[in-house]
């Protein structure tokens, strides 16, 4: 049994995921082994083999190939000439040097863009022109603003069209050699770079699926890869739509939890208000009881006083005080639950934990 067959069998028995633990050379051998297994041709066509470092060691997974990767894509025809150019393409045509490309590749680049935009709009997407007539420096070209964009289901995918460079060994001239000998800070370049006829599309925005760059290669031209690029736009749009719906659902669930927390806070607020009222009644009863005892002691003292104006004034005070004590004593009225005022935001805050009373 080969190593790949043994690995696939182990993954099948483990449910498609294993983690190799340990340290040293015994663990470091797994990345090249997984890479060799991928190249062996023994991994089923409907499966993909993944390997990567994780907290427990080196994780190996065998997962299903996404349906979009197995889909048969219809080739996108590229027009031989721009008879009826799209608005975005016409905007570029008005530039003297669209996208900073050299003359030999300008026409082909515009025809590729025409074909891609036409296919995208047939799928219901929209397109717009970007920063045309602009070529970023080579060391920053992948971070420049897009030349045009296509929007699928609210997700905008920017496209930067780049012209590949051919690199050749630089042969120093006599002048360069003399200057370098004369001035120590002068460095003779090792390579010369010249524009080639190869193009590269760099995509930005959204969740990448197949890739973020497509370029002419000896095996495949960009014309043969346009269907994959068009599919990538659709996939990024679908991923954005799923993310949007997930965010809506997450917000809905969060509001449900917030509303439940608010309802529970209102219940706790009512109970707290009633308990505070209960404590206030008990305090009022103790206060009234103390006052009643004092009034009774005063009455005893006044009853021992001789008749006269002083006693009359004291009895008047006793009548007033007794009436006041009677009003203060909560036992003189039947007990009932208090009317609960509508709570303010700050009234509910102590019962909400990490939630805000103003919204989720």
Read out DSSP for 226-285? HHHHHHHHHHHHHHHHHHHHHHHHHHHHHHHHHHHHHHHHHHHHHHHHHHHHHHHHHHHH
Q: In the structure encoding, which two tokens stand for residue 190, read together?
A: 């090792």
Which H or E run contains 44? none
CA 306 to CA 147: how far, in whole Å? 112
Q: Report if residue 79 sits inside a domain.
A: no
253 found inside a domain: no
* 126 and 231 together in one domain: yes
Q: Does any domain span residue 359?
A: no
Shared domain for 35 and 151, answered yes or no, is no
How confident is the model at residue 126, as a pLDDT? 97
Q: Is the per-residue pLDDT at 190 higher than 90?
A: no
The C-alpha atoms of residue 65 and residue 48 are separated, in whole angstroms, by: 6
Query: What pLDDT sits at residue 263?
Result: 97
- Predicted local confidence at residue 139, as pLDDT: 59
Average pLDDT over residues 246-274: 97
Q: What is the mean pLDDT of the chain?
A: 91
- The pLDDT of residue 359 is above 80: yes
Determine, yes or no, domain membership for 229: yes
Residue 82 included in any domain: no
Question: Is 44 a domain residue?
Answer: yes
User: How many distinct structural domains can be found in the chain?
Assistant: 3
Question: Which residue intervals of the chain are DSSP H helices?
Answer: 3-13, 25-28, 30-39, 67-70, 87-93, 103-122, 174-182, 222-303, 309-328, 345-348
- Whether residue 114 is found in the same domain as residue 194: yes
Q: What share of the chain is helix, strand, coil (3-state, %, to 5)?
A: 50, 20, 30
Distance CA 93, CA 171 (A): 38
Domain that holds residue 49: 3-65
* Arithmetic mean of pLDDT, 148-175: 92
On whether both 29 and 113 belong to a single domain, the answer is no
Residue 135 has pLDDT above 90, yes or no: no
| Average pLDDT of the residues in 66-95 | 91
**Given a cut of 70, is residue 48 above it in pLDDT?**
yes
Looking at 197, 222, 246, the residue that finishes a domain is 246
User: Quick check: 157 pLDDT over 70?
Assistant: yes
Taking the C-alpha atoms of residue 37 and residue 174, their distance in angstroms, rounded to an integer, is 53
Query: What is the pLDDT, as a whole number, of residue 137?
Result: 65
Tell the burial category of 24 from Cβ atoms under 10 Å away from its Cβ (0-12, 13-18, 19+). exposed
Q: Are 34 and 111 within one domain?
A: no
68: helix, coil or strand?
helix
Q: What is the mean pLDDT of residues 266-280?
A: 96
* Statement to judge: residues 160 and 55 lie in one domain: no
Does residue 174 carry a pLDDT above 90? no
In a domain, 296, yes or no: yes
Q: Is residue 70 part of a domain?
A: no
User: What would the pLDDT profile of 199-242 be if each residue is shown by its tens digit?
Assistant: 999 999 999 999 999 999 999 999 999 999 999 999 999 999 99
Residue 98 predicted with pLDDT over 90: no
Q: 233 and 107, same structural domain?
A: yes
Do 207 and 327 have their domain in common? Answer: no
Ramachandran category for residue 204: left, alpha or beta (phi over 0 → left; psi -120 to 50 → alpha): beta
Contact predicate 84/76, CB 8 Å? no
Q: What is the pLDDT of residue 103?
A: 87
Could you tell me the pLDDT band of residue 283, with boundaries at 50, 70 and 90? Answer: very high
Tell me the whole-structure pTM to 2 decimals. Answer: 0.73
Those residues with Cβ within 8 angstroms of residue 102's Cβ, 6 or more apart along the chain or in another chain: 163, 195
Question: In the listed set 246, 281, 305, which residue is the last one of a domain according to the structure?
Answer: 246
pLDDT above 70 covers what percent of the chain?
98
Sign of CA dihedral 222, 228, 231, 237: negative
pLDDT in tens, 288-315: 999 999 999 999 999 989 999 999 999 9
Report whether pLDDT(353) > 90. Answer: yes
């Amino acid at each position: 049994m080969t190593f790949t067959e043994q690995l696939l069998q182990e993954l099948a028995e483990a449910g498609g995921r294993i983690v190799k633990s340990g340290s040293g050379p015994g663990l470091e051998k797994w990345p090249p082994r997984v890479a060799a297994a991928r190249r062996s041709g023994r991994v089923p066509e409907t499966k993909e083999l993944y390997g990567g470092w994780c907290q427990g060691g080196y994780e190996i997974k065998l997962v299903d190939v996404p349906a979009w990767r197995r889909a048969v894509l219809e080739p996108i025809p590229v027009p031989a000439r721009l008879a009826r150019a799209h608005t975005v393409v016409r905007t570029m045509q008005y530039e003297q040097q669209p996208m900073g490309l050299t003359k030999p590749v300008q026409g082909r680049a515009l025809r590729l863009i025409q074909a891609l935009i036409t296919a995208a709009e047939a799928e219901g997407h929209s397109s717009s022109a970007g920063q045309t007539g602009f070529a970023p420096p080579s060391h920053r070209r992948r971070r420049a603003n897009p030349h045009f964009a296509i929007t699928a289901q609210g997700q905008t995918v920017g496209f930067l069209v780049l012209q590949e460079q051919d690199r050749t060994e630089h042969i120093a001239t006599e002048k360069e050699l003399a200057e370098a000998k004369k001035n120590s800070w002068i460095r003779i370049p090792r390579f010369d770079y010249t524009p080639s006829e190869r193009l590269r599309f760099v995509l930005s925005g959204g969740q990448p699926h197949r890739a973020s760059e497509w370029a002419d290669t000896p095996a495949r031209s960009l014309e043969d890869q346009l269907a994959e690029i068009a599919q990538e736009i659709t996939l990024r749009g679908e991923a954005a739509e799923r993310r949007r719906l997930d965010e809506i659902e997450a917000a809905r669930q969060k509001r449900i939890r917030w509303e439940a927390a608010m309802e529970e806070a209102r219940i706790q607020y009512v109970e707290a208000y009633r308990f505070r009222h209960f404590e206030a009644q008990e305090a009022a009863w103790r206060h009234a009881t103390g006052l009643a005892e004092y009034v009774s002691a005063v009455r005893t003292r006044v009853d021992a006083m001789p008749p006269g104006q002083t006693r009359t004034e004291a009895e008047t005070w006793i009548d007033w005080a007794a009436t006041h004590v009677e009003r203060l004593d909560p036992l003189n009225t039947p007990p009932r639950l208090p009317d609960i005022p509508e709570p303010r935001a700050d009234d509910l805050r102590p019962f909400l934990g990490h939630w805000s009373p103003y919204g989720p």
